[in-house]
């Protein structure tokens, strides 16, 4: 990373820069780290439960919110995330993710086929 270039980035001082975690201790254990890399943001996503590092891609800044996608290899789950600064120490995180389920066939009478 070119430190001189990132020092001059208009993104420096952005309230999204830093480490973020879910304030609900019974919820997600993922820690997101947002930093400036050159003239754009870089995001790291680490699952605090098992220290898995998610594959982050498609990081986009629209001038107000930061959006990105994460792939978790261990589960095959994909997530789309959007971070919006609420204050210096709080962000709003909206995310959607894939979920895997096993479904069973029903016969014409609505009974499970074995």
- Summarize pLDDT for 12-32 with one digit per residue, the tens: 889 999 999 998 877 788 999
pLDDT in tens, 58-71: 999 999 999 999 99
Query: How many folded domains does the chain comprise?
Result: 1
Q: What is the DSSP letter of 64?
A: S
Is the predicted pLDDT of residue 5 greater than 60, yes or no? no
The proportion of the chain whose per-residue pLDDT surpasses 70, expressed as a percent, equals 92
Residue 39 within a domain? yes
Percent of the chain with pLDDT over 90: 71
Q: Could you tell me if residue 105 is inside a domain?
A: no
Going 42 to 48 to 51 to 56, the CA torsion angle's sign is negative
Q: Is residue 87 part of a domain?
A: yes
Query: Could you tell me the residue range of the domain that residue 77 belongs to?
Result: 3-97
Task: Return d(Cα 4, Cα 74) in angstroms, integer.
Answer: 37
């Amino acid at each position: 990373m070119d430190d001189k270039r990132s020092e001059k980035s208009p993104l420096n001082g952005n309230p999204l820069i830093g480490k973020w975690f879910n304030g609900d201790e019974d919820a997600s254990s993922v820690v997101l780290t947002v930093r400036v890399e050159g003239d754009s943001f870089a995001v790291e996503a680490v699952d605090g439960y098992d220290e898995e590092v998610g594959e982050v891609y498609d990081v986009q800044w629209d001038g107000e919110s930061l959006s990105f996608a994460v792939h978790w290899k261990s589960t095959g789950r994909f997530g789309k995330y959007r971070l919006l600064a609420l204050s210096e120490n709080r962000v709003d995180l909206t995310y959607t993710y894939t979920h895997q389920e096993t479904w069973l066939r029903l016969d014409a009478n609505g009974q499970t086929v074995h």
